[in-house]
Structure 1
Amino acid sequence: MNKHARIYVAGHRGLVGSALVRCLQRQGYTRVLTRTREELDLTDQLAVARFFESERPEIVLDAAAKVGGIRANNIYPAEFIRDNLLIQTHLIDSAYLSGVRKFVFLGSSCIYPKLAQQPLKEDYLLTGPLEPTNQWYALAKIAGIKQCQAYRRQYGFDAISLMPTNLYGPGDNFSLENSHVLPALIRKFYEAKVAGAESVTVWGTGTPRREFLHVDDLADAVVFLMETYSDEEIVNVGVGEDLSIRELAELIRETVGFEGDLVFDPRQPDGTPRKLLDVSRLHGLGWRARIPLKQGLEETYGWFLSHMDKVRE
């Protein structure tokens, strides 16, 4: 692929978007386009159309989305489905109309049914009810997948859809109010350590199992598939291994150096019992994750400590 192609990374300030920019630059791509939310409101159809008309990107990596954990999804369901539908619809349509050569849509592993057989194969999409706590976000992402497939079938638009597992890494959201479990636990253990607390309480029973992929690994996979893959079938992007929330909490406690107790609150929701991606399709295409979880946690905690002034509330 031409290293001088104009590549627009939507959502470049987020966890995934910032990793994509780093990866593209590291691999020698010289014309990476970005816009802040203040510069371009992706929920504004006319503004998005004007951007594509003026900048004429050749490739689009769609990492723009409204994201959050269980609590945020429960409190703001209308915003999660509305904003994500608007963002992805405007990006896909304007990209097609302006002649974009390749569009990469990033979904989420939450698109799969709550009680689907594990590990989750791409074929399990739409075979059962979704997890209620994040169904609004999941439905929007499913709509994005189907829009990409529809534009490919009707217009020959080269749009691919990738489904990442749970992500973490530098630039994550460490808010205790609306972040995901891994960064929230890093912050919880850090604050408990600083305060000299006797224990840290974790939501749920600690039994659900989750898979975690370092965001730099995801970015590498996205660029690899951008260069090599062209099909309407979705592709899972993950590690292919999982661990329980209890095991994750213990690993983070060790990483942070907190010596107090670990307490679980079963009154709070667990979410999906298990969410492990089947990554055999990805492996068959020639890509595998490289960053072990322990190493990734140490790097992420180091980033957290050195960016305390930028960590979101």
Structure 2
Amino acid sequence: MNPHAKIYVAGHRGLAGSAIVRRLQAVGCDNLLLRTHTELDLTNQAAVDAFFAAERPEYVFLAAAKVGGIQANNLYPAEFIRDNLAIQTNVIHAAWSNGASKLLFLGSSCIYPKFAPQPMPESCLLTGELEPTNEWYAIAKIAGIKMCQAYRKQYGFDAISLMPTNLYGPGDNFNLENSHVLPALLRKFHEAKERGDAEVVMWGTGTPRREFMHVDDLGDAAVFLMQNYSDEAFVNVGVGEDVTIRELGQLVGEVVGFRGKIVQDLSKPDGTPRKLMDVDRLSALGWKARIALRDGVAETYQWFVEHYAK
């Protein structure tokens, strides 16, 4: 990848997109095309076509998406499937039709069946029912994978797809109403420490296992795959190991400096027992995550204190 080529990062303000931008800048890429939603509505086909015709980027990182938690998926299923299908269709087609050399599509681990084998290999896609609470988003992401494969098969377009595990890091969503578990725990423990609470209550038994990857590792993997991978098979991107939610809570408490007790609310649900990515395909390509969970949580907490807690 020529560092002076035009590189378009769709969704550059999001958690994943901003990490991709940081990594591209770190390796010397100096001709990045970045547009906010106000400047370019990716659900507008005419606007996307006009942008690609005018700028003709050589490389495209498609990290833009309409995202949200369980509540948002349940409340707005039509928007989740419509907007994500529109974004993907418009960007992938415009990239191909305007001569882009390569496109990388960013998916999600929610594409896998609810009862997928653990760790989840790429081969288990479409082998079972999806998790009902986010099937609208998952179906859109599966369609994105298939569109990349179809454009490669019919047109020879070099489109690749990667599926990241649970991400966290600077710029995360810390809203307790709709954030993911790790940023929610960081805020919860921080506020408990600030108030001098004697305990923090966590949902469920604490036994479910989850995998967490710092978003800067994702940014590194995305640039690595753009430079070193070309195949229709999509690639899981994760760390290849997991922790229990209880262990995560204990780690967050230590990082934050909370001295009280952790109490499990057994009346609350646990969710899926385990979600771990099989990263053998990625490892065979020569890439491995580098940021340890404790180090990444500490860095993210520092960012939270400086940018969000105020």
Tell me if both proteins adopt one fold, taking TM over 0.5 as the criterion: yes
Name the structure 1 match of 2:171: 171
Q: TM-score, normalised by structure 2?
A: 0.96
**Alignment root-mean-square deviation, CA:** 1.5
In structure 2, C-alpha distance between the alignment counterparts of 1:137 and 1:264, rounded to whole Å: 30
1:233 aligns with 2:246: no
Residue by residue over 1:44-76, the C-alpha shift from the partner in whole angstroms, topping out at 9 and shown as x without a partner, is 111111111111111100111122233333333
What pairs up with 1:192-211 in 2 under 5 angstroms? 192-211=192-211
Name the structure 1 match of 2:44: 44
In structure 1, C-alpha distance between the alignment counterparts of 2:71 and 2:273, rounded to whole Å: 17
- 1:68–1:180 CA contact under 8 A, matched in 2: no
Name the structure 1 match of 2:137: 137
In structure 2, C-alpha distance between the alignment counterparts of 1:86 and 1:272, rounded to whole Å: 30
Q: 1:94 to 1:209 in 2, by over 3 A?
A: same
- CA shift at 1:267, angstroms? 4.3
- 1:112–1:130 CA contact under 8 A, matched in 2: yes
SS of residue matched to 2:143: helix
- CA shift at 1:39, angstroms? 0.6
Q: Which sections of structure 1, spanning at least 5 residues, go unmatched?
A: none
SS of residue matched to 1:202: strand
- 1:58–1:99 CA contact under 8 A, matched in 2: yes
- 1:120–1:278 CA contact under 8 A, matched in 2: yes
Q: Number of matched residues?
A: 310
Name the structure 1 match of 2:109: 109
Q: Which moved more, 1:81-90 or 1:278-287?
A: 81-90
- 1:11–1:63 CA contact under 8 A, matched in 2: yes
Q: 1:278 to 1:95 in 2, by over 3 A?
A: same
Residue by residue over 1:265-295, the C-alpha shift from the partner in whole angstroms, topping out at 9 and shown as x without a partner, is 3444433221111111101011001010000
In structure 1, C-alpha distance between the alignment counterparts of 2:305 and 2:173, rounded to whole Å: 13
- CA shift at 1:123, angstroms? 0.4
Which residue type is aligned with residue 249 of structure 1? G
1:296 aligns with 2:296: yes
In structure 2, C-alpha distance between the alignment counterparts of 1:266 and 1:68, rounded to whole Å: 26
Which residue type is aligned with residue 164 of structure 1? P
Name the structure 1 match of 2:16: 16
Q: 1:72 to 1:261 in 2, by over 3 A?
A: farther
Q: Which sections of structure 2, spanning at least 5 residues, go unmatched?
A: none
Q: Which moved more, 1:22-31 or 1:253-262?
A: 253-262
What pairs up with 1:211-290 in 2 under 5 angstroms? 211-290=211-290
Name the structure 1 match of 2:147: 147
- 1:113–1:130 CA contact under 8 A, matched in 2: yes
- CA shift at 1:151, angstroms? 0.8
SS of residue matched to 1:13: coil
SS of residue matched to 2:105: strand
Q: TM-score, normalised by structure 1?
A: 0.95
Which residue type is aligned with residue 51 of structure 1? F
In structure 1, C-alpha distance between the alignment counterparts of 2:194 and 2:31, rounded to whole Å: 43
How many percent of aligned residue pairs carry the same amino acid? 70
- CA shift at 1:149, angstroms? 0.6
- CA shift at 1:104, angstroms? 0.2
Which residue type is aligned with residue 77 of structure 1? P
Q: 1:149 to 1:284 in 2, by over 3 A?
A: same
